[in-house]
Amino acid sequence: MKNRLQQFQSDGFLILEGFNTSTECDELIRQARELSGSYNFECHPSVFQTTDQAKTTDDYFLNSGDRISFFFEKDAFDNSGKLKNDLFHSLNKIGHALHDLDPVFNSFSRSPQMKKLVAELGLSNSLIIQSMYILKHAKIGGVVDVHQDSSFLYTEPESCIGFWFALEDTTKENGCMWAMPGGHRTALRSWFRIKEEGGTELFILDNEPISMEGMIPLEVKKGTCIVLNGLLPHYSLPNTSSKSRQAYAIHTINRHAHYPTTNWLQRNIEELRGFE
């Protein structure tokens, strides 16, 4: 029987059921609601979508690396620019420094079980570079196109690892994640970066399309942690159900890897913390 490290190396992802308690998940959900309640969206209504992200990126998004920022679903506003629903149920995600700036998210991100897990997976040199609270609301939660996390957190050599936490049950109906076992044994296709003349671009590294053959749904229960290799292609479909699919994710890089200044997300690498 494979241990956790062997399973992760074989599949490119690792599913850990019961990793967090229901109480821990509920505490994060409550904190996300509280944070969103203090947000004045009229100042910077920024929309997040994975489709053609380079064209929808704005300064608010690019400056969110060391802040707690709020991003809307693309269908959250009507033709007159007003929200179709209340603020919380119009948001796509909150990011990208929750793990450093909010005590509740910090405790969740650096929990005793996380410290044990990163040691078991040989990731003791990891730094937490970003965090995201993903809302995926009922009916409005949009598609997340197939992608590799290393495209957005590029390092030399490649070192990105993601930890995705199900705060609610995830099903095919409410937009669970899809991935292919062993799909990480492939090349990095693109690099989302800042252009010299300003703005962003998805710089193509390999033109070969990502194969969707063999993708399976990762339907998991509340409290599950899914570990993701940065090269693993994965995606999620829209939430067509009457139940939300709230989740939290953190991404790490190796402290010894080179993190280019042209990456879209910028942090002072010297100030980044690991799981200590």
User: What pLDDT score was predicted for residue 55?
Assistant: 44
Beta strand 68-72 with 247-254 is: unpaired
SS3 218: strand
Closest listed residue to residue 129, CA positions, set 236, 255, 31:
255
Q: Which strand ranges, in their side-by-side order, compose the sheet holding 161-166?
A: 13-16, 225-229, 161-166, 247-254, 126-134, 91-96, 68-72, 46-47
The fourth-level CATH superfamily of domain 4-265 is: q2cbj1_9rhob like domain (2.60.120.620)
pLDDT in tens, the chain (276 residues): 689 999 999 999 999 999 999 999 999 999 999 999 888 765 555 554 445 554 456 788 899 999 999 998 877 788 877 888 888 888 999 999 999 999 999 999 999 999 999 999 999 999 999 999 999 999 888 899 999 999 999 999 999 999 999 999 999 999 999 999 999 999 999 999 999 888 899 999 999 999 999 999 999 999 999 999 999 999 999 999 999 999 999 999 999 999 999 999 999 999 999 998
Residue-level pLDDT at 48: 47
pLDDT at 139: 87
Q: How many helices (H) and strands (E) does the chain have?
A: 7, 14
Gap between the Cα atoms of 204 and 54, Å rounded? 13
